[in-house]
Structure 1
């Protein structure tokens, strides 16, 4: 088989894999023992991941463990995977807001679970488990925004990068504190941070464990804007208004927009083009397209 044919086959395979829902980065061939780490995570309970889905196609995913500043317990990590699966199959969904309960976003991992799973193999399995889950969250066919209230620390900061956008409330902060724990991000946060702000700013944020307030986050491009209110209900309403401007229209069109952007971000150019072509083909002549033509939609 010629090199050119082999490359074409590889690119086509990557494109097909990319558009499939629920495709994970790691499996048994990578030494990933998913069922084993699930059993261990199940031992560390507490908190919950709540999901509400509104008729307008906007979902709200809430980390609910306020007594630990919404830190991820083991069971919360498992629930997050379940909620992502549910969102992947939400045909009428268009947008998602990720928030923490009681005016705090997330303080990372529950240290009780971290201490109990201190072996390198457990650490690597938890790393691969969360990378899989957060990558699937990033690839959702929904436009997602992290509503950062209070503190987003460590793994919480990484979670914000798994959303398409970030909105911050007055007095909130994002801080990658991993260095202070003798670690680096392991849930994909470093790779995503480089994509968002560039390698130089990302290096400063990680090596200095710097506190990023709303003003600096906007300057860096880490956040879109600072909301007016820090009160829980009002800031959620503001986030919903902000997100609504990007989720107008049929769900299938929003899904396609997310997919072509994700293809351009994650695939090599030669593979992204046929992926875009395939996604375009699902809309051409479809109901939304035909309705727009029938209404002689004009661009304003």
Structure 2
């Protein structure tokens, strides 16, 4: 790779991206025209889908490449029932198929709550086999969120409980407000966090801290969450979304392929021994170099 120019401009990196002003259909989106609304010069226009408990908003202008996945079930504090689960699955699949996506911000449209966890009212009406199927689907959905090739940033204002916290743990980064609360209360219901909580939490905060939180089910504050590494940033209440957008914009300015390859190398490397991890890093490095070489040739020929 010696002799390569340092970096190709952002516009070249994005030469193959789709126009973000086009929308992608999902099962949770009605066949109505998108709404365009301006909310500030830096953020530009938003193409917003309006129906369903899970919404996708694609930012445009200077923020093209940033996608917001918003939870919007206020009557149940974003508790995850069957409809919301389908909405999450469809939204994640849509984002995964969108080559123009560079970073995803996962947030709530409901004040003072991120997600209250699984919908226990619905669960009471399920048979034992239906409950097991639901939990398995939830686990698979969060794994799909974690497996997205682009970085994901969870925005937590208010409560992130049970499955809500497990969803946040599936994201790459987490930002919370000071008044946020976090808990995995499942052991109090004689069950365990079954949608990835017993596995992702110890990988993020360490084995001992994770066991204490899961065994006791106690709630912790945003400040305690940041002190143990559960979240990346804890900011004044109401400012978590702004901070997350700052992070998303920083990521969005970088080479999209490089960001994807860095995420892939980190995730692969954490699951294997060091020699295998370094092999994964080399593979990702070579893919970036090959893409850079191709883009340079295309630029010279244009």
TM-score bracket, normalised by the shorter chain, equals 0.7 to 0.9
Q: Does 1:250 align with 2:255?
A: yes
When the two structures are superposed, what TM-score results if normalisation uses the length of structure 2? Answer: 0.75
Distance 1:182 1:288, change over 3 A: farther
- 1:251 Cα deviation after fit: 1.6
Q: Which has the higher helix share?
A: 1
Specify the alignment match of 1:180 in structure 2: 188
Specify the alignment match of 1:23 in structure 2: none
How far apart, CA to CA, are the structure 1 residues paired with 2:182 and 2:226? Answer: 12
Contact 1:259 1:279 in 2 (8 A): yes
In structure 1, stretches of 5+ residues that fail to align are 1-45, 295-300
In structure 2, stretches of 5+ residues that fail to align are 1-50
How far apart, CA to CA, are the structure 2 residues paired with 1:206 and 1:161? Answer: 14
Contact 2:71 2:109 in 1 (8 A): yes
When the two structures are superposed, what TM-score results if normalisation uses the length of structure 1? Answer: 0.75
- 1:134 Cα deviation after fit: 0.8
How far apart, CA to CA, are the structure 1 residues paired with 2:270 and 2:98? Answer: 23
Question: Runs of 4 or more off by more than 6 Å in structure 1?
Answer: none
Specify the alignment match of 1:198 in structure 2: 206
How far apart, CA to CA, are the structure 1 residues paired with 2:240 and 2:234? Answer: 10
How far apart, CA to CA, are the structure 2 residues paired with 1:242 and 1:229? Answer: 17
Number of positions where the alignment pairs a residue of Structure 1 with one of Structure 2: 243
User: SS of the residue aligned with 2:71?
Assistant: strand
Q: 1:146 aligns with which of 154, 160, 168?
A: 154
User: SS of the residue aligned with 2:69?
Assistant: strand
How far apart, CA to CA, are the structure 1 residues paired with 2:249 and 2:65? Answer: 10
- 1:277 Cα deviation after fit: 3.2
Name which structure has the greater RCO, CA cutoff 8 Å, separation 6+: 1
Q: 1:275 aligns with which of 256, 271, 280?
A: 280
Contact 1:47 1:70 in 2 (8 A): no
- 1:63 Cα deviation after fit: 1.0
Equivalent positions of 1:214-293 (< 5 A) are 214-230=222-238, 235-287=240-292
Q: 1:85 aligns with which of 84, 93, 99?
A: 93
